[in-house]
Structure formats: structure tokens, C-alpha cells
Amino acid sequence: MANVKLAIVYYSSTGGNYQMAQWAEKAAKDVGAETKLVQVPELAPEEAIASNPLWKKHYEATKDVPEATSGDIEWADAIIFSAPTRFGTLPAQMKNFIDMQGGLWGAGKTINKVVSGMTSAQNPHGGQEATLLSLYTSMMHWGAIIAAPGYSDDSIFASGGNPYGASAAVQNGEIVEDIKGAVEHQARRTIDVAGRVVAGS
Amino acid sequence: MANVKLAIVYYSSTGGNYQMAQWAEKAAKDVGAETKLVQVPELAPEEAIASNPLWKKHYEATKDVPEATSGDIEWADAIIFSAPTRFGTLPAQMKNFIDMQGGLWGAGKTINKVVSGMTSAQNPHGGQEATLLSLYTSMMHWGAIIAAPGYSDDSIFASGGNPYGASAAVQNGEIVEDIKGAVEHQARRTIDVAGRVVAGS
Amino acid sequence: MANVKLAIVYYSSTGGNYQMAQWAEKAAKDVGAETKLVQVPELAPEEAIASNPLWKKHYEATKDVPEATSGDIEWADAIIFSAPTRFGTLPAQMKNFIDMQGGLWGAGKTINKVVSGMTSAQNPHGGQEATLLSLYTSMMHWGAIIAAPGYSDDSIFASGGNPYGASAAVQNGEIVEDIKGAVEHQARRTIDVAGRVVAGS
Amino acid sequence: MANVKLAIVYYSSTGGNYQMAQWAEKAAKDVGAETKLVQVPELAPEEAIASNPLWKKHYEATKDVPEATSGDIEWADAIIFSAPTRFGTLPAQMKNFIDMQGGLWGAGKTINKVVSGMTSAQNPHGGQEATLLSLYTSMMHWGAIIAAPGYSDDSIFASGGNPYGASAAVQNGEIVEDIKGAVEHQARRTIDVAGRVVAGS
């Protein structure tokens, strides 16, 4: 298999999606991928963050995680996006990062990136499906190749059976579903598809 | 009919959606609604704006349009959102404003707002449908009542037949479709539905 | 409140959505609505039905439930659709019924119907969100007014927190989530909104 | 490149999507793909077809086009679906065919099919985006790899710029937009991606 470069681009306020991003990175490294784990810039003012102790704690703890750049997107063969829902679509923080790639897009450099997404919400049906579908809509504008997991592994059923991507219910910053296996499978599947796409270029 | 309070919340970089918002406001006033026309805060840095003369010109020209606040959402019986597509969903600027209404949402104050949306894109099929559907997904989280126009007036067919809301192709800051009638109809329809919802409270 | 005419249009293969439809009807009657509970025609061949004992049993048990007609849609002020997911969108049986209302649609008779939807899937994240959003897309073409529940009642959180409509995980024909309260609330909310829309006509 | 097997699965009532399917097949053959062009079974009763002369004419003219089967899906490395909108989602005819692949799906035989879609509507914004997004939602349940065209070729801009797939406005059975180039590009792109996926298996 071709050596695959995977960017894991996440936004997390209380840590759930950061945990998922880390699981995905580990699984991708284990199958030989080169990885970058990067966070999108925060948009919320400091006082908003400070008003929520879990958010504040996570924000401080991850200050050293590099910020995602256009260079990371250009570099990557595959991208896994991970972000919680905000009213059924991506948080503005993640959308802002995506919106800012207009330059890359205009230069045709987003075409054929292999993409999948992960998400979380407080409620079990609180946007876990809709948020991922919204991500994929934007990715189609990019000309990306979408490799949602479907029901391609038993771990998906065990984790709640979201075919659009691994998803968690996160309460008080804790993931309350058994989704580690589904995240790892999704990472491996993304690498597998990207490896084929790259090898055939 | 009950007196309806309508907030028109828009984001516009080169003026298309501001024009649509103004048409909607005029039509709403003409049927007796009380209106506020407000813009969501910009997220782009000054240098990004300065790099695009049309954006810069519109930005300067509309500096005095009030910024949308949570108070405007709480005040409104009906809301018309107007924003261009960014890769098939709302621009981060608009999404950020929506995301920031978590406090109102948690207090149950977004329930039963009557909502419709308008949008634009450069290409005729460049996200005009998907962007509005994405808006409505978020509005369902709010418990809003969605009054998309469907095919409830001949003006809709004349403007390209978008049942989810009035939409324009905007090129070089100019609307290149005949959508004024559809915008006006949509404003009146939103007021009509909101008037009934308010009267029945 | 105006007397509201509610059509509950369902498709069910093993009984989950029929149960939900019955709960909705009872709740609607309890607030004074006039109701029709009708099923859409089956498209599957007899041998497919016979191959699944639960499907066969339910099919036989509900043979006397009236079939939905265009007349029911024309009659109704409000419509609750209930159908299981099939790969994240409506089953062909329900979509076929909706497609067949082109005549009513062309005559403007679908405009301002107040609509909400309910659904089910085998997996917790198996299309419960996407299926309802797909229904609402079609309903916007109808010019319907969409009254998804959002988070307008505590029963919604208790049932899994699906803001687009009540949804169940159904396994072996049995609903495995506590959604009765959410269904009843959704029925009452649909009647409430429809009552206002009708009164204001 | 690996030899790619492409199934073009279409539904057409007055001929637009059949024309698009033929263009796609020709372009795929020209790059060496093995193809099957198949139509999904009609669900409408004979009298409905007979009531529309254009539909009747097309129905009679294409009686010899083979019907799509599960075997075709199993055989294919890549699938292009083409169907007109019906209220913003797939027509029941196409959805019924997709729903009936539950057996293949359960056996894991829909995984990694490379898929793209084409569509049409009467109005320029009459569901051309929403219908394709609805198709892709179902395809994610299949575990398919989605290769929407994005803006990967100039022909896409020339045809109205639909990033989700080639789309036409069809009036009186005639395609009224210049989409042939976009259809051909989409076919070649689907073959390209599928060739890579197959070669890497």
C-alpha cells in the first residue's frame, strides 16, 4: 500500500472529539500512515470559555496541539474531521476553517482528498447523523472522495450503528458509548481507501 | 392579524444577500409587520476583506447596519435568515451567530419562532438548495416552525423555482436572476404564518 | 382552538410505526382533534412478506386499517407521517404515496398543511435523523409548514432527544426506547400549531 | 488501470435521465469500462403512464432496456444512478430498487462500490441538489465510496455548477441545459476512482 498522509482535523470544547481524534491517530499510525493531529482555531471569547469549567480545563490542556492550516489540507491524502454537533451541523469553529480553504479549493487542491467524519452530541439523537451529512455536503464541493464507514465492520453495530461516521454521546466531557473500536475501524478504512486512491494516481 | 415582529438576520460579503434582506423588509413593512434588519458579526480578518474590492466596498457601506443580538431573536415572532452558501452550508459567520444562541435555546425561547431562509451562490446549482436545508436542520433544533415557500406563488417559478427559499446566483456582487418577487412573496408568507401562530398563543 | 383534522399516515412492516401512529392518534383525540389513521399501500410482493414471520403477522393483523388516499391529504389540516428508515430515507412505500400526490400539489392543495414526522430504525443511529430530514425536504416542496418538535418538552430528552421527530429503535418488532411520551407530545404540538394556522385562515 | 465494471441504473419517465445515462455509458466505454445500462422497474399503473403522452412514448420506446437486478449491483465496481427528482428526493421507483438490495447489503456486498448520481427537475432549483444528497445518504448506508464530481472540471461550471452530480432542467422531455460535457466528465471520474479502488483490492 502507498504511504498515506492523514490529517485529523478536530474541534473539541470539553474533550470528547479530541479523544476520538487521538484514537483515530493511533489506529492510523498502527497501519503505517503518516499523521498530523491538528485543531481548528477557537472563535469563542475567553470569557465564554472561562464560564464553563470543563471547557476551560480542556482548552488549557490542549493549548499545545498545533492549529490546522491550509498547508495541512494540501499535504494530506486523507482527512478525518471530528467535531461535536451545534444544532445539527458543524460548529462555527470547524465551518470557519473549512470556509477559509477557498484558496486551495480554487486551485483544485482539495480534489480527491479521501474524507470521513466523526462527531458527538449530548443527546443520543442530538444531531449525530445530521452533522456528518452536513460535513459531507461541504466535502462534495471540495471534490473529495467520501468514505463513510457504512456497516463495514461489526464495531459499527456495537457503537450505535451510525453509518455516516463514528459518533458519541458526550456528557460532562465523557464519552458514554463504546465507540473506540468504531473509531479505529474508521481510521483504518479511511487509510485503506486513501491508499488505493494515492497508488492509482 | 396580530402585529408580527420580524427579524431579518443576514450575512453578506458583496451585497447580494443585503439586497434580498432589504426587499424582504420592505415587503414585510408593507403588510404591517414591525421589522429589524440586522447583520451578523464578521469573522474574517480585515486583510481578507481588503483583498477583495467588492467585499471591502460592501463592508464599508454597511458598517452602520446594526449587529444581530440574542435580544433580536428573543424579540422576534418570525425570522428570515439570508446568507450566501459556503460549500453548501451556511457561512461560518452566520453559523457562529446561530451557535451563540445556546442560552436562549436552553431557556426555551427559540421555540415556535416562524422561520424561513434565503441564499445565494455563484453557480446556479452551487448550494442554493443545500444551504437552506442546512439552515432548517438547525432551526428544527431550535423548535422553530419552518415556513419554506414551496410553490405557493407564481413568483417562485419565475425566480428559478427553489421551494426551500428565495435564492440567487450572485456574480460580481450582482444578482443575476429575477428574484425580487419571490423574496417579497416569501416575506409576506412568513408574516402570514407568524401572524397566525402569534394570534393563537 | 379551531377543530383540527389530523391525518396520521404510516407505513409499518413489523408494527413499530403502527404503534407510534396509534399513540399519536390517541393523544390527538384527547385534545379534541378529528383523526384518520391510514396506512400507505404495500409495494412488496406477498412472498417477501411471507418470508418474514413478524412482517407477515403484522401485515395480516392490520389488513383492515384503511389505505391512505389523496382525499385524506386534502381533508387534513395536519399530517403526521410515521415510517421506518430504509437506508436513511423514507421507504419506497411511503415515498410512492407522497409522489402520487402530484395532482393535489399541482392544484395548490398541499400548501400550509402542518406536518411532522416519526420514524424508527434497528440501530440507535441507523437513520433516525436522516429519514425525518428527508421527509421534511419533500414537505417543503409541498409548501407545508413544518412543526418538528425540537426540544420543546422534557419527554423529548427522555426519549433520546431527536429534535426532528419521535424516533425509536425497533428490534424484532418491539420498540426498545421509552418514546411514548415524546410521541404524545409531538401529536399535541402538531395539533396546537395546526389549530393556530387554521384559525388564522 | 484495472478494468472497471460500471452499472448505470436509471429511472426516466420522459427521457431526460435516459439520455444522460446513455451519454455516461458512451463516455465510460470510451475509457475502457465494461458497462451495463439498466432501468429500475416502473411502479406507476398503466393508466397513469397512458395519461401523459411523453411518458407513454418513452415507456414504449425503452421497453427493451433490461431491468436492473441485484446481480447488476453485485457485479459492478462502480454505479452511476440517474433519476429525476420527486419532491426533492428520489422517485419511489428508484428508492424501491435501492430498498430491495437489503439482501446484498446484509451480505456485505454493497461495501466499497464507487457511486455517483445524476438527476433532473423541471425548475432550475427544483430539487437538483437535494435529490443527489438524498441518494448519497442511502449510499453511505451501503458503505459505498462516494465520488461526487465537485468542481473537478470546467464542464461542471458550464453545466450550472452542481457539485453533487450532473443535473438538468428537463421540460417537455427535453434537457434545456448544456450538460453533456459534465455527464461525460462525471462518468470518466467515476471510472477513474473505481479503477483505483479495484486495483488496490
Query: What is the tens place of the pLDDT at every residue in B168-191?
Result: 998 888 898 889 999 999 999 999
Cell numbers standing for residue A172 = 460532562
| Residues A56, A96 contacting (CB under 8 angstroms) | no
| Per-residue pLDDT at A172 | 83
Give the pLDDT band (50/70/90) at residue A190.
Answer: very high
Question: Mean pLDDT lowest for which of A1-5, C13-17, C108-112?
Answer: A1-5
Cβ(A43)–Cβ(B96) below 8 Å: yes
**With an 8 Å Cβ cutoff, is B129 touching chain D?**
yes
Residues D193, A195: C-beta atoms closer than 8 Å? no
Determine the Cα–Cα distance for residues B22 and C199; give it in Å rounded to an integer: 30
With contacts defined as CB-CB under 8 Å, which chain A residues touch B86?
Answer: 95, 98-99, 138
> Could you read off the pLDDT of B29-43 as tens digits, one per residue?
999 999 999 999 999
Give the pLDDT confidence score for residue D172 in this predicted structure.
Answer: 83
Chain B CB contacts of A115 below 8 Å = none
Which of B120, B129, B154, B156 to mutate against chain D (most D CBs within 10 Å)?
Answer: B129
Model pLDDT for residues A169-181, shown as the tens digit of each residue? 988 888 988 899 9
The pLDDT, as a whole number, for residue B1 is 52
Measured CA to CA, the distance from residue B35 to residue B9 in angstroms comes to: 11
Q: How do B34-39 and A34-39 pair as beta strands?
A: unpaired
pLDDT score at C177 = 80
The per-residue pLDDT for range A81-139, each reduced to its tens digit, is: 999 999 999 999 999 999 999 999 999 999 999 999 999 999 999 999 999 999 999 99
* Buried-exposed string D5-44: b where 16+ CB fall within 10 A, e elsewhere: bbbbbbbbbbbbbbbbbbbbbebbeeeebebbbbbbebbb
Q: Is B199 on the interface with C (CB under 8 A)?
A: yes
Distance CA D116, CA A184 (A): 27
Interchain contact, D163 vs B126, CB within 8 Å: yes
Nearest beta carbon to residue C150 from set B1, B140, B200: B140
Residue C123: its pLDDT value, please?
Answer: 92
Lowest model confidence (mean pLDDT) among B61-65, C34-38, C108-112, C177-181: C177-181
Half-sphere exposure of B189 (CA within 13 A, CB side): 29
Q: How many CA atoms lie within 13 A of A148 on its CB side?
A: 32
Lowest mean pLDDT among B1-10, B120-129, C32-41: B1-10
Cβ–Cβ of D146/A137 closer than 8 Å? no
Query: What's the length of chain B?
Result: 201
Amino acid identity at C3: N
Chain A residues whose CB is inside 8 A of the C121 CB are 161
Closest C-alpha to D66, from D35, D109, D110, D90: D35
Q: Report the 10 Å Cβ neighbour count for A74.
A: 15
* Mean pLDDT for the stretch of residues B3-20: 97
**pLDDT-above-70 percentage for chain A:** 99
Residue B58 has a CB neighbour count (10 Å cut-off) of: 19
Closest CA to C38 of C7, C71, C80: C7
Nearest residue of chain B to residue C141 (CA atoms): B150
Average pLDDT along chain B: 96
B85: distance to nearest CA of chain D, Å? Answer: 13
Mean pLDDT of chain C: 96
Q: How many domains does chain D have?
A: 1
**CA dist., res. C131 & res. C136, Å (int):** 9
Task: Collect the ranges in chain D with pLDDT lower than 50.
Answer: none
List the 132-161 stretch of B: residues with Cβ below 8 A of A: 134, 137-138, 140-142
Averaged pLDDT, C177-189: 96
pLDDT of residue B171: 85
Confidence of residue C187 (pLDDT cuts 50, 70, 90): very high
Question: Does D49 touch chain C if contact means CB atoms closer than 8 Å?
Answer: no
**Nearest to A194, CA basis, from A39, A38, A32, A66:** A32
Please indicate whether, in this complex, the C-beta atoms of A88 and B130 are within 8 angstroms of each other.
no
- CA atoms within 13 A of residue C92's CA, in its CB half-sphere: 20
ipTM for the whole complex = 0.98
Of B130, B161, B163, the CB nearest to D133: B130
**List of chain B residues whose C-beta atoms are within 8 Å of the C-beta of residue C149:** 143
Chains touching B, CB cut-off 8 Å, 3+ pairs: A, C, D
Residue B2: predicted pLDDT: 58
Cβ–Cβ below 8 Å for A125 and C88: no
- Amino acid C128: pLDDT: 97
Q: What's the pLDDT tens digit per position in C43-78?
A: 999 999 999 999 999 999 999 999 999 999 999 999
CA distances from C77 to B196, C86, C116 (A): 14, 27, 12
Q: What is the pLDDT of residue C1?
A: 53
Which residues in chain C touch residue B152, judged by CB atoms under 8 angstroms apart? Answer: 108, 111-112, 143
The whole-angstrom distance between C12's CA and the closest CA on chain A is 21
Split at pLDDT 50, 70, 90, the class of A201 is: confident
Q: What is the CATH number of the domain that holds C133?
A: 3.40.50.360
Write down the mean pLDDT value for chain D: 96
A53 touches chain C (CB under 8 A): no
**Residues in chain B within 8 Å Cβ distance of D168:** none
Alpha-carbon gap, residue B161 to B155, rounded angstroms: 8
pLDDT digits (tens, 9 = 90+) for B118-135: 999 999 999 999 999 999
- Domain holding D27, by residue range, is 5-199
Give the H/E segment covering residue A18.
Answer: helix A16-30
Q: Where are the alpha helices (DSSP H) in chain C?
A: 16-30, 46-50, 53-61, 70-75, 92-99, 102-106, 128-141, 154-158, 180-199
> pLDDT grade, residue C172 (50/70/90)?
confident
Q: What is the pLDDT of residue A1?
A: 53
